[in-house]
Amino acid sequence: MVFNRILTHERPHLDEIVAIWLLRRFGEQRFPGISTARVEFTSIRRLAEAGRKPEDYEAEGTVLVGIGGGRFDEHPTLDEGRKAGDCATTLVARELGVSDDPSLAKILRFVRAADVEGNASPFDISYVVKLLHNRYPDDPHRVIEWALVAIEAKYAEQHRFFTVVKPEFEAKARVEEIEVGKKRLRIVTVDSDEDGIHKYARSEYGARAAIVIQRRSSGNVAVFGNKQAGVDLREAAKLIRLAERQAKGLSEGTRPRSDATDASRMCPQSDDEKLLDEGYAAGAEEWFYHKQGQMLLNGSLTQADVPPTRLSLDRIAELVKIGVDPSRVQPLCQSTGRCIGDVCDWYTWHLARCARLRGPAAGCA
């Protein structure tokens, strides 16, 4: 038997389109010929008038999708109730034995939620499919082909996620835990050119990382913070910008304390608020701080010509660990409960936590 036709309802939803994609991509062994089968459209009324069973259609090489009461139709019929919790996509996936493929998990979950639970937003693909049917009511194939390109792109991303990015992560990633207040945060540092490795590191399949620091072979580094884990990279951005300036030989300068009697006792000038600002900071233009996304980027896919940082990966990781923990101070300062002054390596950083130890009398608060 050769299957040369897929029959679905007019203006097919994303559910039927993804089911068609699954059949074409994974169904050749189960349904020979289906990978090149043409797609045609009909209505429930016309099917009812024809008075034929789904098996009759399959016997002539036609697979019904989302219509006709067959194996890939979840809707209730006169003889059977709705296939609860299923949609055409999940029924096809189960029939083809790909329901548990991790590369398909997000696609199947999204389609099911859109079709069964009615979850949709004005810009997601399921809603856009409906808009395109409204725009091209006489050309459903145009809508289907547009959606198939998008579905294939998403699958390619997910397939690479598990077949390429996963082994890359397992071979190269270094996972650490730090205490920040009452929480334990996982930090991943990794040398990799894989675009999706920071996503894998944050995922349930990777390390559920709160922070990922990725260095590419070009030397460019990106720091990704997980806002849901409560990560705030502002002070980390300040420290890295200061270190970048120092690596260039640019000095911060100092300003006198209001009560200073010794010229060596100076308050640092690196309390410049611009070092905490989103965007770029003078003297450390290699780094862009994205406040909303909690990212610190030394170049990106859209800014590929940014010079690489002069800082080592270990130095960046060290500064990030210090920056994201607002309660962390130098051990001696911690034990004495006060700032020990410019003998402290952190003195010129003028962190908010250090300013609290100095107090207003020091003129640095």
Predicted pLDDT at 148: 98
Same domain, 99 and 44: yes
Same domain, 121 and 192: no
More confident position, 164 or 250 = 164
Kindly state the tokens that stand for 176: 């650490």
Q: What percentage of the chain's residues is helix, strand, coil (to nearest 5)?
A: 45, 15, 40
Do the domain assignments include residue 80?
Answer: yes
> Are the beta carbons of 103 and 22 closer than 8 angstroms?
no
CA distance 358 to 105: 53
Predicted pLDDT at 187: 98
The total number of structural domains that make up the chain: 2
pLDDT in tens, 139-183: 999 999 999 999 999 999 999 999 999 999 999 999 999 998 889
Beta-sheet pairing, 295-297 with 288-290 = antiparallel
**Mind giving me the DSSP string for 151-162?**
HHHHHHHHHHII
Predicted pLDDT at 85: 85
Angle between helices 140-160 and 105-116 (to 10 degrees): 140
Predicted pLDDT at 344: 82
Q: Tell me which H or E stretch contains 190.
A: strand 183-191
User: What is the 8-class DSSP label of residue 309?
Assistant: P
Same domain, 229 and 115: no
Domain boundary among 166, 192, 226: 166
Same domain, 202 and 112: no
Same domain, 224 and 304: yes
Do the domain assignments include residue 96?
Answer: yes
Structural domain boundaries, residue 209: 175-258+268-325
Q: Is 310 exposed, middle or buried (0-12, 13-18, 19+ CB in 10 A)?
A: middle
- pLDDT over 50 at 365, yes or no: no
Predicted pLDDT at 359: 62
- pLDDT over 70 at 334, yes or no: yes
| Closest CA relative to residue 220, chosen from 286, 313, 308 | 308
Same domain, 184 and 281: yes
Kindly state the tokens that stand for 198: 């920071």
pLDDT in tens, 107-142: 999 999 999 888 888 899 999 999 999 999 999 999
pLDDT in tens, 283-318: 999 999 999 999 999 999 888 899 999 999 999 999
Do the domain assignments include residue 347?
Answer: no
- pLDDT over 90 at 252, yes or no: no
Do the domain assignments include residue 121?
Answer: yes
Do the domain assignments include residue 20?
Answer: yes
Same domain, 141 and 230: no
- How long a stretch of residues is the chain? 365
Predicted pLDDT at 360: 54
| Closest CA relative to residue 74, chosen from 92, 61, 58, 96 | 92
CA distance 184 to 96: 42
45: helix, coil or strand?
helix
Same domain, 180 and 312: yes
pLDDT band at 70 (very low <50, low <70, confident <90, very high): confident
Same domain, 121 and 244: no
Beta bridge partner(s), residue 288: 297
Do the domain assignments include residue 192?
Answer: yes
Kindly state the tokens that stand for 26: 């994974």
10 Å Cβ neighbour count for 278? 13
Query: Within 13 Å and on the Cβ side, how many CA atoms surround 347?
Result: 18
Span 70-90, mean pLDDT? 78
The values of phi and psi at residue 252, to 5°, are -80, -30
pLDDT in tens, 254-278: 333 344 444 334 444 444 678 889 9
Same domain, 114 and 194: no
Do the domain assignments include residue 333?
Answer: no
Span 64-93, mean pLDDT? 83
Span 194-216, mean pLDDT? 96
10 Å Cβ neighbour count for 361? 10
Domain boundary among 325, 341, 359: 325
Residue listed under structure tokens 């300013």: 355
Domain boundary among 128, 145, 166: 166
Same domain, 181 and 149: no
Q: What residue type is 161 in one-letter code? A: F
Same domain, 19 and 93: yes
Do the domain assignments include residue 234?
Answer: yes
